[in-house]
Structures are given as C-alpha cells and as structure tokens.
Amino acid sequence: MTQSTTAALHIRGSTIRYAEVAREQEARDLQRLGGQTFSFDVVRALWQGEETDALDGVSEALRGMLAGLDAGALRVVVHPLDAFSFFTPIPASLSESERRQHVTSQAALVTGARSPDTLALSLQTVRPVEGHEAVEWVHVLALPQGVGERMDALTDALPVQTVTRMVSSEAAARIVGHTERPNASAAENEATYSLAIGQYATHTEYALVRNGAWHHAHATQEARTAGNRAYYAVGFLNRVDVAAQDVDRLLVYGPEAGPEGPLEAVFDCSPTPLNPFDGLRRVPDRFEDRDQGTEYVPAIGAASAGLD
C-alpha cells in the first residue's frame, strides 16, 4: 500500500512542469509528469500583478493537468533569481521566537523591505547544529507578500492539504543526494562534494551536496558561456571554503545542459547529466528519455523531497 504521495510544480518563465511521486516503504514511483507552456511569462505576471485574467487561466489549466491528484502536499519550485534566495547562520542558543525574528530581520535587510510583514518567507534548515558548533545554517526563500498571494492563488483550488515553496537548486540537490555514491563509505561521502550545475539561457545555478545533503547554493546571470560557468563555479566554491579538488562529482541539468570542456580542466571529473529518474523504482516508458529528463529535475526533485 502506498504510504504517501507528494506533487510539485516548477515555474520557469512561461512554462510550468509538474511531477507526482509516491513512496511505498523505501521505494519511490513516478505517478505523473508533464507540463504546459503558456503564451505569456508566468513568473513576470506573478511579480507584476497585471495579468490577473491570464493567471486565472493558468490556475484553471493546473486544475486540469492535476485532476485526480492523490498528493497530500504540493511544493512550488521557483528559480533563485525569481525570488530572494539566501543562506544565513542562526545562533543555536536562540528560542523559536528569537529564531524567527532573526530570520525575518535578515530577510528585510536582504530584500530592502520596509517591514518583514510585507514578505512571504519559506525556511529550510540546511545544516543543523553539529558537535560543538554554535550555529545552524538555514536557507530563506522570500517573496513580496503580493507575489506570494498570487502564487498561492494558482494552487488554491488544487486537491492538496499543504503547499510550500522550494528553490530549484535545493530540488536538484535532493536528487543528487538520492543518487549519492552507493558504494562509498560514510567517511568518503563526508570528505567529498557533488556539484550540480543548472544551465539555463537566463542564468546558471549551482547546488553543492555533501554526504547526501544540500550544503550550499549560488546563482548568477553572468555565467552564460562554458568558460564563465566554470569561472563562477570556482568563485562559489572559494566563498564557501571548498577546494575544487574536493568535488568528485559534477552533474548538469536544465535546457542548456551539455558537455563542458572548461569544467573538466578545473575539476578532476567530467560532468554528466543529472538524471532525475535515478532512484525511482517505477517510471512510465515515455518518461525515460535522459535528455528530456534534465529539464524535469526541479519538479521531480521537489516532489521526492516531500517524501524524505
């Protein structure tokens, strides 16, 4: 008997992709996968709030695409440059209310919001307090309240109990974690990193994974060529104090994903496509195309994350 089912929507420009994943004991099955491209930029409409009729049409289309949905939870995935996305340390000594106040204050500083009350916040613990550490690291995904409300309106009529938001780099990291080196020891996984690179025409995003868990992330509009992607990858690793030689897996995803010669010159490994179908027990035959699959990394990763 299926224990739980989670669905996800991935919004990028004018396209929304969806996935539904069910878990039975330790096995995961892909229940549905698909998408639709609309005649306008959905993300821009959510931010500008000027195309309410068009967004109503998107909501109606989603009800049709996800008719009969059996998921208790839905995750809405956005790209890091389509929201305010940042990491922040939180002192371990803070109470829950102090923790929330710390995060909202940081979000107001990062976004320039006059009041934290004008923001819709989603928090995700990335690295909890371990050993003698005095802080935990959390990821904050922030949207202006109006954008969050319009995004919520897209999913209000869907048959799910809860709706949360996730950044695409975390969704990619979840898939990387599920496909972590199966024959490696815990010590080996702790000492090395995997780097997933999402390649899009508008931006490049990086997700760093350690010991099967999301460790950090970065995104930039500037890295649109192979050389720049390698350059910004190294810069990102330097900022989080990770040596390039400690990265022993490179994975790429997204519509622009492909072999990257400069990456091989920098790292001691070659990039391979991040296949979101790895780790799934059952995948319908028509979804097994690996080239197409890299574009579904955010949707499948977010749906699978809800089952962890």
Per-residue pLDDT reduced to its tens digit, 221-258 = 988 888 899 999 999 999 999 999 999 999 999 998 87
How many angstroms separate the CA atoms of 27 and 78, rounded? Answer: 27
Sort 117 into a burial class: Cβ within 10 Å, 0-12 / 13-18 / 19+.
Answer: exposed
Q: Position 126: which residue type?
A: V
- All residue ranges of the chain with pLDDT < 50 are 290
Triad 151, 140, 34: Cα angle to 5°: 45
- For position 181, what pLDDT does the model report? 59
- For position 58, what pLDDT does the model report? 97
Which domains, ranges and CATH numbers included, belong to the chain? 1-164 (3.30.420), 170-305 (3.30.420.40)
Segment 147-161, tens digit of pLDDT: 999 999 999 989 999
- For position 170, what pLDDT does the model report? 97
DSSP 114-152: S-GGGEEEEEEEEE---TT-SEEEEEEEEEEHHHHHHHH
Smallest CA-to-CA distance from 281 within 2, 10, 9 is with: 2
Segment 160-194, tens digit of pLDDT: 999 999 999 999 999 999 876 555 665 565 678 99
- For position 303, what pLDDT does the model report? 95
- For position 200, what pLDDT does the model report? 93
- For position 233, what pLDDT does the model report? 95
- For position 61, what pLDDT does the model report? 96
Smallest CA-to-CA distance from 172 within 299, 14, 306 is with: 299
Backbone φ and ψ of 92, nearest 5°: -65, -20
- For position 81, what pLDDT does the model report? 94
Long-range CB contacts (within 8 A, 24+) of 46-49 = 46/11, 46/147, 46/150, 46/151, 47/82, 47/144, 47/147, 49/146, 49/147, 49/150
pTM above 0.85, yes or no: yes
Smallest CA-to-CA distance from 20 within 293, 302, 216, 276 is with: 302
